[in-house]
Amino acid sequence: MKTISKSLAVFFMLILTGLTFQSCEKIKSLADVKFNAELAGDLNITISQGAQKSAVLSDTYNFSKSVEVNLRSDPEIDKYFDKLKSFDVQSVTCTANSVYGGPVNITNATLVIQSETTSATWYVKNFTLENGASLTLDNNNNQWDNVNTILNNKENFTISVEGTTDKDNVSFTLHVVIKTRVTANPL
């Protein structure tokens, strides 16, 4: 009889311990902090007069540029860096600024966001650059998921673009912005 009582007591203690632990996790998640963050990079591109023409399309001009983005460049991300739980990309946009000698048409371009382990790639055709022209980069091939992976791995990343334009003697800045919803837990 004592053995059955001890077994039942141990059984109920194990159940109580399991429920307590599960409740603690739920209580801990109440301390989650959620905030919006933007990670951005500027690709400053100049195509000089008489620049090299594309070997593929002889009436276009090549360009290429990249910029490194530090994940801690956002003050809120930096504040919670060691307590980050997750990122959820809300949008990725590319906006033309400081367009000189334009409008200019990007005939073909490849824009890549990459870390050492993961990359997301978009292909752009016939995008006319004027100040303020904006393009939302889609998630058709799970690119946002790949960016989420980069961010959730807490990796710095590179934004790069290479392509061709329809004219030389132009300069422009492509401002790429990743808008994300961040969850952190200070506990």
Q: Helix, strand, or coil here: 143?
A: helix
Does the predicted model carry a pTM greater than 0.85? no
Q: Helix, strand, or coil here: 40?
A: strand
Low-confidence ranges of the chain (pLDDT < 50): 14, 16, 19, 23
Q: Where are the domains of the chain?
A: 1-30, 32-184
Say how far apart CA 140 and CA 122 lie, in whole Å: 9
CATH class, domain 32-184, is: mainly beta
Token pair for 63: 């360009």
The β-bridge partners of 114 are 119, 158
Say how far apart CA 34 and CA 45 lie, in whole Å: 35
Q: What is the structure's pLDDT at 19?
A: 47
Each residue of 105-160: pLDDT tens digit?
999 999 999 999 999 999 999 999 999 999 999 999 999 999 999 999 999 999 99
Give Cα separations from 151 to 17, 69, 100 (angstroms).
35, 11, 34
Residues 6+ apart with CB under 8 A from 168: 47, 48, 49, 50, 51, 61
CB atoms within 10 A of CB 119: 17
Give Cα separations from 181 to 29, 78, 123, 142 (angstroms).
16, 14, 25, 17
Say how far apart CA 63 and CA 61 lie, in whole Å: 7
* Sole residue written with tokens 């990309």: 89
Q: What is the structure's pLDDT at 28?
A: 56
Structural Rg of the chain based on CA atoms? 25
DSSP state at residue 49:
T
